[in-house]
Amino acid sequence: MVTKIKTKLGNQRPTQSVNLHYSISLAQEAIDYYQKTGLKCYPWQIYLIMPIMAVDDDRVWVHQKYGYAIPRRNGKTEIIYMLELWALHNGLKILHTAHRVSTSHSSFEKLKKYLEMSGYVDGEDFTSNRTKGQERIEFKSSGAVIQWRTRTSSGGLGEGFDLLVIDEAQEYTAEQESALKYTVTDSDNPMTIMCGTPPTMVSTGTVFEAYRKNVLAGKIKYSGWAEWSVNEMLPVHDVAAWYLTNPSMGFHLNERKIEAELGEDEIDHNIQRLGYWPTFNQKSVISEKEWLKLKIEQMPEFASKLFVGIKFGQDGNNVSMSISARTTEKKIFTEAIDCISVRNGTQWIINFLKSADIAKVVVDGASGQELLAQEMRENKLKAPILPKVSEIITANMMWEQGIMQETICHSDQPSLTAVVTNCDKRQIGSNGGFGYKSLYDDRDISLMDSALLAHWICSTTKPKRKQRISY
């Protein structure tokens, strides 16, 4: 007699979740459409989609927003496909967004395949456009339409949808959210669903993590959350943790596959495989206390002309300008002039340079420095300094030294203070050089970069000595 060994399964319930009370769910309809493909739902997928598709007595979504996080390769997007198949059969307009073009296109191909596995024929039952960046499916019987897009700061503007999908949500930025969140406002019954993994040190998004914190704290209405995670860092060979946080263990995921991916990076393993939400040090490398020690109450007396720093942001959206000048107290006063969208042009910069008593101008940022230099020449202004990478590294080091040695002074402008006291370092080059980056999406580091450029050129320009005549 052969005894059949029972397969060990991963934990089928979220380790942490917040679901509003409901008594009705449309999940079974979605499950039926999905299983029409010949695929079977895992127990954890059924458990998760039930609250996502919960409705009240008026068939309005109980959770207008729902987010969930599951470690990689567990099949988290299958929940999205179940929901999208249901939406296509029910005449909804859907926008599926992702961080990468490859992810967006792959999701289009998968849903199209599932329709065909369900017996539907492209060209008869639905029409599709598989051009990358313009992927689209229209389901003829219901008139439903689904579009796939990669996220930008303006994507989706002017369009209206009933269902908004945020895939790879760990990369979802505040700027992208401000462009997309209004796309479902006009719907009679809107839903936004976010899915992803916990953010890594290189993730750009902040919305997903902030949403999680607020839902778990009970601060957001009509919202739900679910996750499979560990509360603390665990060793990479902790097999019990694999089963706790990977619900698809025993289905398409197994110990052998996880063993093959193991490496020496314990942090990455905990985030990607165990769903650990890291609390990266969000402390600014320049503290508020350090910066405010340099504050002066009255405008100082200048002992030099103005030195101007101009920085075009790395994302090409904004340009910032600041000034520095030597003071009679032998310090360098620094002040921000403005940070403005490049769409507004650079005439405001030209006007300032024409009107002020300026010694030197330094301009950095590949997205705009050459164009501005040309405009300055056309306006008969002295050519600006276009710094090398080595000089940028020096400028950053001198800014840090000036703050620590208290040779800088400022008037505590709210905009500049907000950026300076919420920044971190980033590597430049391969020899230990560093620059700065903002800890928050809504604070443009280019404002501080322009200030430190102005400080650098002011510091490195020797003051002219007055000629003395002896008899």
Predicted pLDDT at 281: 52
Report whether 100 contacts 69 (CB < 8 A).
no
Give the residue from 234, 229, 257 showing the smallest Cα distance to 13. Answer: 229
Q: Name the 3-class secondary structure at 238.
A: coil
Q: Determine the Cα–Cα distance for residues 96 and 115; give it in Å rounded to an integer.
A: 16
Predicted pLDDT at 125: 97
Are 265 and 326 in the same domain? Answer: no
Are 325 and 235 in the same domain? Answer: no
Last residue in a domain, options 272, 307, 323: 272
Edge to edge, the sheet with strand 358-364 lists 358-364, 306-312, 318-326, 332-341, 408-409
Q: Tell me, yes or no, whether 161 lies in a domain.
A: yes
Q: Which residue range is the domain that position 59 belongs to?
A: 16-272
Are 265 and 292 in the same domain? Answer: no
Are 437 and 411 in the same domain? Answer: yes
Give the residue from 409, 365, 407 showing the smallest Cα distance to 386. Answer: 365
Predicted pLDDT at 267: 82
Predicted pLDDT at 158: 64
Whether the predicted model's global pTM rises above the 0.75 cut: no
Are 296 and 253 in the same domain? Answer: no
Q: Determine the Cα–Cα distance for residues 133 and 108; give it in Å rounded to an integer.
A: 11
Tens-digit pLDDT string for the chain (471 aa) = 555 567 899 999 999 999 999 999 999 999 999 999 999 999 999 999 999 999 999 999 999 999 999 999 999 999 999 999 999 999 999 999 999 999 999 999 999 999 999 999 999 999 999 998 899 999 999 999 999 999 976 655 568 999 999 999 999 988 899 889 999 999 999 999 999 999 876 677 889 999 999 999 999 999 999 999 999 889 999 999 999 999 999 999 999 999 999 988 888 899 999 999 976 555 788 989 999 999 999 999 999 999 999 999 987 889 999 999 999 999 999 999 999 999 999 999 999 999 999 999 999 998 899 999 999 999 999 999 999 999 999 999 999 999 999 999 999 999 999 999 999 888 887 667 889 998 887 789 999 999 999 999 999 998 876 544 444
| Amino acid of residue 318 | N
Last residue in a domain, options 216, 242, 272: 272
Tell me how crowded residue 140 is: count the other CB atoms within 10 A of its CB: 12
Q: Tell me, yes or no, whether 200 lies in a domain.
A: yes
Q: Determine the Cα–Cα distance for residues 78 and 97; give it in Å rounded to an integer.
A: 15
Are 215 and 294 in the same domain? Answer: no
Q: Tell me, yes or no, whether 131 lies in a domain.
A: yes
Last residue in a domain, options 224, 243, 272: 272
Are 236 and 318 in the same domain? Answer: no
Q: Tell me, yes or no, whether 323 lies in a domain.
A: yes
Are 262 and 320 in the same domain? Answer: no
User: Which long-range CB contacts under 8 A does 338-343 form with residues at least 24 apart?
Assistant: 339/415, 339/444, 339/446, 339/447, 339/450, 341/317, 342/312, 342/316, 342/317, 342/318, 342/367, 342/368
What's the total number of domains in the chain?
Answer: 2
Q: Determine the Cα–Cα distance for residues 269 and 165; give it in Å rounded to an integer.
A: 26
Are 40 and 134 in the same domain? Answer: yes
Give the residue from 422, 448, 454, 444 showing the smallest Cα distance to 435. Answer: 448
Are 113 and 261 in the same domain? Answer: yes
Report whether 338 contacts 321 (CB < 8 A).
yes
Predicted pLDDT at 156: 58
Say which CATH number the domain at 24 has.
3.40.50.300
Q: Tell me, yes or no, whether 180 lies in a domain.
A: yes
Q: Determine the Cα–Cα distance for residues 352 and 257; give it in Å rounded to an integer.
A: 62
The pairing of strands 54-55 and 24-25 is antiparallel
Apex 289 CA angle, 285 and 292, nearest 5: 110
Predicted pLDDT at 470: 44
Give the residue from 358, 360, 320, 300 showing the smallest Cα distance to 445. Answer: 320
Q: Tell me, yes or no, whether 8 lies in a domain.
A: no
Q: Determine the Cα–Cα distance for residues 153 and 176; give it in Å rounded to an integer.
A: 5
Say which CATH number the domain at 428 has.
3.30.420.240
Are 315 and 219 in the same domain? Answer: no
Are 212 and 129 in the same domain? Answer: yes
Contacts of 186 by beta carbon, 8 Å cutoff, 6+ apart: 160
Q: Tell me, yes or no, whether 6 lies in a domain.
A: no
Q: Tell me, yes or no, whether 330 lies in a domain.
A: yes
